[in-house]
A and B are shown apart, each in its own frame.
Chain A
Amino acid sequence: MPSERSALQWIVLFIEKYWLQFLKGTGMTVLLAVIGTAAGFVIGLIIGVVRTIPKQAGGKTGFSLRALALGVLNSLLAIYTEVLRGTPMMVQAMLIYYGLTEFAKVNIAAIPAGMIVITLNTGAYMAEIVRGGIQSIDPGQSEAAKAIGMNHWKTMLYVVLPQAVRNILPATGNEFVVNLKDSSVLNVITVTELFYATRAIRGSYYRTYEPFLIAAAIYLALTFISSRLLRLLEKYLDGPRDFSLAQNVGRTRRK
């Protein structure tokens, strides 16, 4: 008798019967979070760097085409971050998925649309995080780089960004965890991630509690494991705390 089952028995039943659906949903959720965070990170990095380009080469003042172009570009980037951060991802998903089909006559599948939404959204948040990360680096670092002849790009690439990226790693990890959870809103455009899969499973027995308890446990496991992994990555990037004195450094080492 199905109604005689305890909650635990229901859970076992759901896992036995629908483990593959749960697994597929989990896989899609992880994929969305990984792609969204990675691509969003790249977008954020590019925007963050573009926003730090000096408006005037070498501190000159007055009007120049370069300053105008940078001004326009910065305004566009500011609009992008404000709009994406100021509207819910669920609404963005609807607008992009249905809007593209309706107005641009582009037939886009739900999954790529979902990936675009989560990427654009993460990019807007990462842009602010990267900007903060760059600003947190002691200006002395880029002065020293300029003083040995590095231009803006080399200074960014070799000196500022490696330090900034290290500093924003915790915030980036946080974005990843948020993406694991918030990818669930993409169910509104029928992306088959974990929430969508769970809702489908619920329909088979008209039981809500147990499938979503399983989903909650999976979400929790995903976020817990990824925050631990990120902590390990931070430790690895910081390198050893001690160093050894070099011997015979006068002779150039040969391979």
Chain B
Amino acid sequence: METVIEVNSLRKSFGSNEILKGIDLSVTKGEVVSVIGSSGSGKSTFLRCVNLLEWPTSGDILFKGESVTRRGFKLPLYREKVGMVFQQFNLFQNMNVLQNCVIGQMKVAGRDRETARKIAVECLEKVGMQEYIHAKPRQLSGGQQQRVAIARALCMEPDALLFDEPTSALDPEMVGGVLRVISALAHTGLTLIVVTHEMAFARDVSDRVVFMDGGVIAEQGTPDDIFTNPHNPRLREFLTRFLT
């Protein structure tokens, strides 16, 4: 299998506080990886390092075998191909739904307006938000905003998508809709890394589950391994808190 993202002994410190203490992970094309762990275990920092919103203190990230931290690497091109969905949605507040989905295609990917609009509508249909193209973000519910944010990322036709706790800021009744959208993407051959607190999602949708604890990957394996046969004591403790 072709490796899309490879993380090598990644470390990240903020001041004297070391958040990531050497992460190694390689993700193959089409794979769906869930990252679980308690708050403060470094999940989000790890994901933010992968698309370089945080610069690693040491270690490296390879995209299709190419180092993304080396001098002269075209960072915008990489980010175009590795999309990100945020906990707080971060839709552009000065644009409506359609403009949110079109702007990157036109200003980054260089598509013309007609093509961009067509792709935007297709992507919005995938998340069930095509009727809302004229709405401003603040006029939508959290779940709707997150679906638009997913469509916006899809519009760039990425190789991989990173989800940073995509349902953590949502009302409980909104969570299902967003998770269904992500599950549908999982079956399209897109590579996904999902940081999540939704254990049912991690168990049912992912190919691999990664448990992070104290800035390292404490255990990883198939959902079956992780949820029915966990070895790491911290993981067992973590799971009993969630699955009772």
A-to-B contact residues, CB < 8 Å: 58-60, 138, 140-141, 143-151, 154, 158-159, 162-163, 166, 239, 242-246, 249-250, 252-253
Interface 1/0 per residue, B73-95 and A, CB below 8 Å: 00111111001101010111110
The chain B residue with its CB closest to the CB of A251 is: B121
A252, B121: Cβ atoms under 8 Å? Answer: yes
A138, B139: Cβ atoms under 8 Å? Answer: no
Q: Which of B76, B90, B94, B132 meets A150, CB within 8 Å?
A: B76
Any A CB within 8 A of the CB of B55: yes
Chain A positions within 8 Å of B51 at CB level: 147
Instruction: Supply 6 further A-B pairs (C-beta < 8 A) apart from A58-B69, A150-B104.
Output: A144-B92, A144-B149, A145-B92, A163-B93, A246-B134, A250-B130
Q: Which of B53, B94, B132, B152 meets A148, CB within 8 Å?
A: B152
A146, B53: Cβ atoms under 8 Å? Answer: yes
Q: Which of A140, A145, A245, A250 meets B132, CB within 8 Å?
A: A245
The chain B residue with its CB closest to the CB of A148 is: B104
Chain B positions within 8 Å of A145 at CB level: 92
Q: Which of B78, B83, B107 gathers the greatest number of chain A CB atoms within 10 Å?
A: B107
Q: How far is the CA of A244 from the CA of B132 in the complex (A)?
A: 8
Q: How far is the CA of A16 from the CA of B124 in the complex (A)?
A: 67
Minimum distance in angstroms from A187 CB to a CB of chain B: 42
A58, B55: Cβ atoms under 8 Å? Answer: yes
Minimum distance in angstroms from B166 CB to a CB of chain A: 13
Any A CB within 8 A of the CB of B103: yes
B-to-A contact residues, CB < 8 Å: 51-55, 69, 75-80, 83-84, 86, 88, 90-94, 96, 103-104, 107-109, 114, 117-118, 121, 124-125, 130-136, 139, 149, 152-153, 156
Chain B positions within 8 Å of A239 at CB level: 136
Chain B positions within 8 Å of A146 at CB level: 53, 79
Q: How far is the CA of A150 from the CA of B92 in the complex (A)?
A: 13
Minimum distance in angstroms from B83 CB to a CB of chain A: 7
Query: Assuming the A-B contacts A244-B134, A245-B132, A249-B133, are A154 and B90 also in contact, with contact meaning beta carbons closer than 8 angstroms in the complex?
Result: no
B80, A141: Cβ atoms under 8 Å? Answer: no
The chain B residue with its CB closest to the CB of A143 is: B53
A138, B90: Cβ atoms under 8 Å? Answer: yes
Q: How far is the CA of A242 from the CA of B202 in the complex (A)?
A: 38
Minimum distance in angstroms from A168 CB to a CB of chain B: 14
A249, B77: Cβ atoms under 8 Å? Answer: no
- List 21 contacting pairs A-B, 8 Å CB cutoff, sorted by A: A58-B52, A144-B91, A144-B149, A147-B51, A147-B79, A147-B153, A148-B79, A149-B109, A150-B104, A158-B103, A159-B94, A166-B94, A239-B136, A243-B96, A243-B134, A245-B134, A249-B133, A250-B125, A250-B130, A252-B117, A252-B118
The chain B residue with its CB closest to the CB of A165 is: B94
Q: Which of A145, A146, A245, A246 gathers the greatest number of chain B CB atoms within 10 Å?
A: A246
Query: Assuming the A-B contacts A140-B90, A149-B108, A252-B114, are A58 and B132 also in contact, with contact meaning beta carbons closer than 8 angstroms in the complex?
Result: no
Chain B positions within 8 Å of A138 at CB level: 88, 90
A59, B121: Cβ atoms under 8 Å? Answer: no
Q: Which of A147, A158, A239, A246 gathers the greatest number of chain B CB atoms within 10 Å?
A: A147
B76, A149: Cβ atoms under 8 Å? Answer: yes
Q: Which of A158, A166, A242 meets B107, CB within 8 Å?
A: A158
B76, A151: Cβ atoms under 8 Å? Answer: yes
A140, B86: Cβ atoms under 8 Å? Answer: yes
B136, A163: Cβ atoms under 8 Å? Answer: no
The chain B residue with its CB closest to the CB of A163 is: B94
Chain A positions within 8 Å of B135 at CB level: 243
Q: How far is the CA of A27 from the CA of B93 in the complex (A)?
A: 39
A144, B90: Cβ atoms under 8 Å? Answer: yes
Chain B positions within 8 Å of A253 at CB level: 117
The chain A residue with its CB closest to the CB of B138 is: A241
Chain A positions within 8 Å of B121 at CB level: 249-250, 252
B55, A141: Cβ atoms under 8 Å? Answer: no
Q: How far is the CA of A245 from the CA of B139 in the complex (A)?
A: 12
Chain A positions within 8 Å of B108 at CB level: 148-150, 154
Q: How far is the CA of A74 from the CA of B117 in the complex (A)?
A: 41
Minimum distance in angstroms from B146 CB to a CB of chain A: 12
Q: Which of B84, B90, B118 gathers the greatest number of chain A CB atoms within 10 Å?
A: B90
Q: How far is the CA of A244 from the CA of B134 in the complex (A)?
A: 7
Q: How far is the CA of A195 from the CA of B53 in the complex (A)?
A: 55
Q: How far is the CA of A146 from the CA of B82 in the complex (A)?
A: 11
A246, B130: Cβ atoms under 8 Å? Answer: yes
Q: How far is the CA of A93 from the CA of B227 in the complex (A)?
A: 76
A141, B53: Cβ atoms under 8 Å? Answer: no
B80, A59: Cβ atoms under 8 Å? Answer: no
